[in-house]
Amino acid sequence: MKNTFGDNLSITLFGESHGAAIGAVLDGVAPGIPVDKAFIESQLSLRRPQGKISTPRRETDSFKILSGVLNGFTCGTPICIVIENSDFKSEDYNALKDLPRPSHADFTARQKYHGFENSAGGGHFSGRITAALVAASAIIIPALNKKGIYIGTHIKKALNIKDRDFSDYYTDISFLSDKYFAVLDTSSEEKMESCIIDAAKAGDSIGGTLETAVIGMPEGVGEPWFDTVEGKLSHALFSIPAIKAVEFGAGFLFSDMHGSTANDEFIVADGKIQTKTNNNGGILGGITSGMPIIFRCAVKPTPTITKPQNTVNMKTLDETQMIAAGRHDPFIAHRARIVIDSITALTVADLLISRFGTDWLA
């Protein structure tokens, strides 16, 4: 039963949605990295629910760093961050204890933990746990930025409403960095939010697509076969609740192409070898090419909706109907995008440390 990810830089997540607290232990961080608590708070605010497009549950996400940081700098020892839970209503889930919610982990958690799991609000499987991941990665992101590596994610699509593509990567990533509803074309924002509110009024939810760009990565990072950059990132991305598909570069569009159009031809630009196009998303043979790393994640609709749904009582095996209780998002992608940035930062940092050594980020 493993809750740790990463080789040389690792993160362990703990806690439950309706438990006393959630948290993370970040190990393998070099000593001497500045820790900006205001930046951690700002990152958490991008994940926190806001307005009619999010869950009514309102956690302050007040965090405490219990170890690994002294006088504003990392010590090189494990960093433990704890975030207390305060706004939870476990009683909302009492009637659902034996009724697995469709598309949730209730059924599979019961099979694995034999009824001993804390299932209220999704327990350890809840997206609530990602707050600790965001807080931990906020220590790493500024260190990557100082190395010229930047990460940005936008809402590529909400249901059938699309945002524009990345254009000038650095400018677009800077624009997204402190934007709560992360779209590049502001004209699509109102349409998306209206669609989300309509779904909420109907007791339903919608899915979406998130697109991420990582710029400034040096060439030659990653391993062939089992530790490819795509493999490492996919492993990390699929740990985020609601992520059901990941594609890199042109992704599934490759199946519609000839090699003559799919191939990224090499050129010299600004005195460096680059590629004319970037259909491979900045990765060749599992190793970074120096071009922007581009990938997209499909985010499924929030499973908890207020429409009646069929389920089975896990004790009696009787088929029945249920209407889910609790407070939930009609759309989760706008909050998940900072989680994507965060797990990407941790994965990229781990890959870089594996290539260049522990102190490379310091």
pLDDT at 55: 79
pLDDT at 120: 80
pLDDT at 118: 85
Domain segments of the chain: what residues?
4-361
pLDDT at 51: 80
Work out the angle at residue 341's Cα, subtended by the Cα atoms of residues 186 and 34, and round it to the nearest 5 degrees: 115
**pTM score, two decimals?**
0.95
pLDDT at 95: 73
pLDDT at 63: 97
pLDDT at 88: 67
Backbone angles phi, psi at 319, to 5 degrees: -75, 140
Task: Identify the architecture of domain 4-361 in CATH.
Answer: 4-Layer Sandwich (3.60)
Cβ neighbors of 126 (< 8 A, separation 6 or more) are 16, 17, 241
pLDDT at 1: 63
pLDDT averaged per 10 residues, the chain (length 362): 92 93 97 98 94 80 97 98 82 78 92 88 89 98 98 97 97 97 96 95 96 98 96 97 97 97 97 97 98 98 92 96 81 97 98 95 91
* CA neighbor of 248 nearest in space, from 215, 293, 183, 184: 293
